[in-house]
Amino acid sequence: MTDNRTARSKPLGTPEVLHDAIRNADLEACMMLLSRAPTLLRSGGQARPLHACAVNEFSQHLTGDLVRCGASVRDVDPRDGGTALHRMAERNRLYGAAALLAGGADVNARDGRRQTALHIAARERHRDMAMLLLAFGASSNADDADGKRASDYDPEFPWTSEGPTRSGAAAVQQDAARQ
């Protein structure tokens, strides 16, 4: 539930109040705010609602709901050009990443350093995340601004251009569709 002190200190209908509700993983507060001010999903500023879903383990579970309410899976953070999928990969938020991918996020979108979410997952050694991204068609051959591929960040991982086995990819996609 939203912290009433926070809600009283900020005017309702502002992106900050929505982000507080997301950080608190308060679905009820998010839905109430969006029913009153649906433009909050498209508001400017530094943090975007879907990026905020990566903040903690609990808030990532709001991702699918926000996508269904109209949050754009293509929004980028103006500070670094990263998408919400980049944030999910960096913080190893598998549930949130699966919801973004099921909602149509570009698995090969690049940030300001020309890194994909797969580069970030590899750099952070988030191998389950790498498997999820590969299952959704991430390119393991993409070079970033430094000329590195995902395999350069994690050479021990069994990288292939095909990704995980076909049956493993289908299982991951089915799980994501259920979320």
Q: What residues make up the domain containing 141?
A: 4-178
- Whether this prediction's pTM lies above 0.85 is answered by no
Q: What is the pLDDT of residue 1?
A: 45
Does residue 163 have a pLDDT over 80? no
pLDDT digits (tens, 9 = 90+) for 91-115: 999 999 999 999 999 999 999 999 9
Q: Is the pLDDT of residue 5 over 50?
A: no
Residues in contact with 42: Cβ distance below 8 Å, sequence separation at least 6, in sequence order: 70, 72
> Nearest-5° angle of CA 10, CA 76, CA 55?
55
141-162: pLDDT as tens digits: 999 999 999 999 999 888 764 5
Q: What percent of the chain has pLDDT over 70?
A: 79
Compute CA 61 distance to the chain's CA centroid, rounded to the nearest angstrom: 11
Q: Are 50 and 67 in contact (CB under 8 A)?
A: yes
Q: Are 91 and 117 in contact (CB under 8 A)?
A: no
- What is the spatial distance between Cα 23 and Cα 47, in angstroms, rounded to a whole number? 12
Tell me the CATH number at 80. Answer: 1.25.40.20
CA dihedral angle for residue 141, residue 119, residue 57, residue 9, rounded to 10 degrees: -120
CB atoms within 10 A of CB 48: 25
Q: Is 37 helix (H, G, I), strand (E, B) or coil?
A: coil
Q: What's the number of domains the chain is made of?
A: 1
